[in-house]
Amino acid sequence: GWHTNTDPLQRIGEWVIEAIIRGDIVMSDPVADRFFSAAPAMVRGEAIGHIAWSFMHADVVDDEIRDRFASLWDERVALVRVHPEDCEELDKFFWFVRSGKFPMEWWLPRLKEAAELDLNLSTERYMIGKEIATAADHDPRGAFDALKVLLEGRNDADMPSYDLTRNAVPMVIARAITSGDDALAREATAYMNHLGEKGHLSLKAEVNEVIEGTIKQTDVDDDA
């Protein structure tokens, strides 16, 4: 009589994860061990993603709960490194990014690794282009590297690629070019040219607009 579209096994996984991150059980608990060893990777990924989704809708998440969830994620990534066939477990990492409860310094390198381990990493439906663009203000190298991996092999016409191209690419490349890191600036310029050759004909102008806008804003700040 429970009205839900959630797979029952996934729901069990959600209960397990909730109990772990609240400190009620540990990974060696028999039910937790059984779920993470026997449930299909896709189901495990959906359960993890749903908990991360719930963080987005919470006004406040206690640091201890967030940190346990972060540790759980790192444990699952470590498993996928050894068993790449389980990469679907990482598929919903975008919810960690979207939740707004994890610091950029934590999620940015993990986004890159998740995309490297899961070549079909999901970024659709709830886009993360703007989050990556914002991250470029603080870590231009990290944002640039993550963006390149996310765009690798994607169809330019699909929605994730469109979101990244529109909301992240110009900002990330501009921040890389003006980062003060000569090697990064060269890589970003070469990548901009590469994307231009692939058909992104207005990209150089968009990047220049970001750079010029940043320079003008700096002048205003200096005057103030």
CA distance 169 to 207: 8
Residue range 48-76, pLDDT digits in tens: 999 999 999 999 999 999 999 999 999 99
SS3 170: helix
Do residues 120 and 86 touch, judged by C-beta distance below 8 A?
A: no
Residue range 138-174, pLDDT digits in tens: 999 999 999 999 998 665 555 557 788 889 999 999 9
Do residues 70 and 51 touch, judged by C-beta distance below 8 A?
A: no
For the CA atoms of 66, 22, 69, 18, the dihedral, rounded to the nearest 10 degrees, stands at -120
What are the residues whose beta carbons fall under 8 Å from the beta carbon of 116, sequence distance 6 or more? 149
Q: What is the pLDDT of residue 220?
A: 44
For the CA atoms of 174, 176, 179, 181, the dihedral, rounded to the nearest 10 degrees, stands at -140
Amino acid symbol at 71: S
CA distance 218 to 224: 10
User: Please, which pLDDT band fits residue 104 given cuts at 50, 70 and 90?
Assistant: very high
Amino acid symbol at 135: A
CA distance 135 to 124: 19
Strands (E), 29-73: none
SS3 64: helix
What are the residues whose beta carbons fall under 8 Å from the beta carbon of 203, sequence distance 6 or more? 169, 170, 173, 192, 195, 196
Amino acid symbol at 169: V
Residue with tokens 């970024």: 123
pTM of the model: 0.88
